[in-house]
Amino acid sequence: MLDSILSLVHETVHTDNIDDALNKIVNWLKSNIDVDACSIYLKHRNSQQLILMATAGLNPEAIGHVKYNPGEGLVGMVAERCGKVVLYEASSHPEYIHFPITGEESFDSFLGLPLMHYRQMLGVIAVHNRAHREFTDKDIAILITVTTQLSSAIYASLRSSSKEVSIQKDDLSTSVYTAVSGARGLVSGVMVQPDINADLNSVEEKVTSDTDTQEVIFMLAVTEVQKEIRISSENMREYIPAEVQALFEVYSLLLADDSLLSGVLERIQSGLFASTALRYTIDDLVAHFNTLRNQYISARAEDIRAIGSMILNRLNSGSGSPIDYPDNCILIGDEINLTQIANVPRNSLKGIICRKGSTMSHAAIVAHSLGIPAVMGVQDLPLENMNGRTAIVDGYIGRILVDPSDEVHKEFQRLIKEEELLFTELENLRDLPAETLDGKSIKLNTNIGVLSEIESTRDVGADGVGLYRTEFSFMLSESFPSEIKQYEKYRKVLKAYAPQPVVMRLLDIGGDKSLPYFLIEEENSFLGWRGIRILLDHPEILITQLRAMLRANINLGNLKLLLPMVSHINEINSFRKYFDLVINELIEEGHDIVVPKLGIMIEVPAAAIQLKAMAKLVDFMSIGTNDLTQYLLAVDRNNAHVASLYDFLHPAVLKLIQKVVQDAREVDMQISVCGEMAGDPRTVIPLLGMGLDSFSMAGASIPGVKWIIRNFTYERTVEILEEILEMNEVEEIKDYLNQILEEKGLGGLIRAGN
């Protein structure tokens, strides 16, 4: 039975046509549960009516005509209850409604289950039998297994199918997709899928006897792509940082790599068409990346697919027919690669949407450095029919709105305008101190990752760098950067801010931050080998980085060191051994070393709880609210399906941070916040109330946070904190803080900080 269910699931997931999928399901259930009829009703998005969409056993003409209002009929009962309904003598039930068109006069046994997709009720699946038939546990188990397995497939095909549009043609309302933010900002534009003609998965097997011609065609395509990459790299030179631009070199290297070229050529020689040979080779490289000897290639699955699509595009269209980009272009795709970004005229590219990936994907990093919003991991987005449609990209909360209705569109245009105005207004705060109305002065530092951010963050009047995420430059490099390469980067950053302090965090990889040349394969990477754990296991990496940082600090003295992901006290002790070793080594080499202050991230609940003991070993602490929220709430910060549960305004998060601040104060420990929470104008109010006086955030968030600080007394923030600590629900806390901001005329900040 399980095999049969799995093959039904497999077939349904791989059907493009919703009618086929639904028909397969009802027929399979009718025969496997052995009933007279099985039917699926789907909920209309606006009227909320449950409409018969597929049936095996009822008159097929009833499809589209049998409609239940919410709560009406036996089907409505299932939907309202969001749970199983089993009835006997069902057609005598008071809720029973007879639809003559179904051809069914009466029946005895009824079993209905809701189709649920992440708390959302999509519809109802119901089986019935004319004669009495006891539904066994096994029947119910089969139905539950099938509905739970299939609801997400139904959801996906429902969203992409024209069928849904046709039954809803009376009201094409806005579709909302929630995923994760890749880069902040808000924009509306027209979606363009650049690789629409280059889907490797749709290449069919074709054979040829003229292998020589296919070889020539393939090599020509490779040469064209090489040229394309060179030109794209040149095009982008002006407006993306050199280290991001270095990714183009990665493409060139991959393109020249033997595993790819000889793989394709050998397949062509065996009689395959170039495109077929390309597809099989790319599939192989991606699928078997674990077993490849060349680790560098193996970790580049994303890049290999990008290269594959580029070559296929050339193979398909010869010169690669140019895309006519609208001047408000939003690039969409499974993944978006650098040449696709580079091909859009700079002023026309307004946003990026990817079905795969996370904040750490190349597309997100580039979007961030271009200052355009990106939303990542929109798994449900049906790419097949998105090209040319309008979307609003909300990079603040990782959400997109497709085909926004006039009303929604107008509202967003208003917000976008409001945001522009607000930023102009906020710019005027640049040279004013971050001081509360009752005179408490607050330090506002900035978080940076790539060197290009130095300029923009200094422009917003930051007091220094509260978090330099060194892993970004490691991620953009082709191998572990040498001591000298690292030294040059760190020196640039320290010099740019001196004498203001720069908190440099030691390499924090693992979790969602992977290096192409350092494979980590784990079932559960966020709970695995991350941050300090890797550094202590690989002292060679740690020592090189420490040496580069300490040398970069010579004659400047503004370096502070920060350890990521500390969860055990012995990690700090072990680190100290290497720290002392490196300091002594450098002194022996004749360097004039100033010992920097040492701090730890408080981002694992264990460190938050053991703060006082850890405080004896370090000079300062920084609360990483991104990870602290993830680990405290057990919600993966990059998982779109649980994104709605990830909220740093959760009462437990607020209470833990308050305890951390209190403990730190009791042992006289310097503490600040460097997670996203510090840059949210709403959450900064309770953080101020806790007594925190140092924050670090993205440069763009500084003006809004400064505004808050300058418009509240410290005393008032303490009162607000006390009030919200009495609340038990995130929504209650949010509403209350929103209301406070609205009352101050700061509604715009709610969005900008969201």
Do 443 and 463 touch, CB atoms closer than 8 A? yes
CB of 573 to ligand PEP, least distance (A): 23
Q: What type of residue sits at position 728?
A: N
Strand partners, 125: 40, 113
Which entry of Mg ion, ligand PEP, none binds 469, CB below 5 to 8 A by partner kind?
Answer: ligand PEP
CA atoms within 13 A on the CB side of 713: 4
Catalytic machinery residues = 362, 674
- Please choose, from the candidates 468, 363, 476, 441, the residue with its C-alpha nearest in 3D space to the C-alpha of residue 699: 468
CB of 563 to ligand PEP, least distance (A): 12
The residue among 33 and 244 lying less far from ligand PEP, judged by its C-beta, is 244
Strand (E) or helix (H) holding 435: none
Q: How many helices (H) and strands (E) does the chain have?
A: 30, 22
Piece of the chain touching ligand PEP by CB under 6 A; list 27-35, 548-556, 625-633, 744-752: 625-633
Residue 626 is a binding residue for ligand PEP (CB under 6 A): yes
Residue 627 is a binding residue for Mg ion (CB under 5 A): yes
Which entry of ligand PEP, Mg ion, none binds 670, CB below 5 to 8 A by partner kind?
Answer: none
At residue 462, φ and ψ (nearest 5 deg) are: -75, 155
| Distance (Å, whole) CA 525 – CA 510 | 6
The 444-483 site mask, x for binding ligand PEP (CB under 6 A), equals: -----------------------x-x--------------
At residue 650, φ and ψ (nearest 5 deg) are: -60, 135
Q: What type of residue sits at position 702?
A: I
Instruction: Indicate which single residue of 624, 679, 681, 704 sits in contact with Mg ion (rule: CB under 5 A).
Output: 624
Strand (E) or helix (H) holding 133: none
At residue 150, φ and ψ (nearest 5 deg) are: -95, -15
User: What angle is formed at CA 731 by the lines to CA 673 and CA 357, rounded to 5 degrees?
Assistant: 60
CB of 637 to Mg ion, least distance (A): 9
What percent of the chain is helix, strand and coil (3-state, nearest 5)? 50, 15, 35
Which entry of ligand PEP, Mg ion, none binds 161, CB below 5 to 8 A by partner kind?
Answer: none
| Distance (Å, whole) CA 450 – CA 197 | 34
Residue 394 is a binding residue for ligand PEP (CB under 6 A): no
The 655-684 site mask, x for binding ligand PEP (CB under 6 A), equals: -------------------xx---------
Using the 8-state DSSP alphabet, how is residue 128 labeled?
E
The residue among 355 and 505 lying less far from ligand PEP, judged by its C-beta, is 505
The 590-619 site mask, x for binding ligand PEP (CB under 6 A), equals: -------------x----------------
Residue with tokens 């004498």: 499
Piece of the chain touching ligand PEP by CB under 6 A; list 148-156, 399-407, 576-584, 620-628: 620-628
CB of 467 to ligand PEP, least distance (A): 6
Piece of the chain touching ligand PEP by CB under 6 A; list 98-106, 360-368, 426-434, 623-631: 623-631
Residue 185 is a binding residue for Mg ion (CB under 5 A): no
Structure tokens at 586: 């450098």
Residue 686 is a binding residue for Mg ion (CB under 5 A): no
Instruction: Indicate which single residue of 224, 243, 603, 693 sits in contact with Mg ion (rule: CB under 5 A).
Output: 603
CB of 282 to Mg ion, least distance (A): 34
Residue 195 is a binding residue for ligand PEP (CB under 6 A): no
Do 400 and 177 touch, CB atoms closer than 8 A? yes
Sequence-separated (6 or more) residues with CB below 8 Å from residue 112: 74, 75, 77, 78, 84, 85, 124, 125, 126, 127
Residue 259 is a binding residue for ligand PEP (CB under 6 A): no
Which entry of ligand PEP, Mg ion, none binds 532, CB below 5 to 8 A by partner kind?
Answer: none
Residue 627 is a binding residue for ligand PEP (CB under 6 A): yes
At residue 239, φ and ψ (nearest 5 deg) are: -120, 10
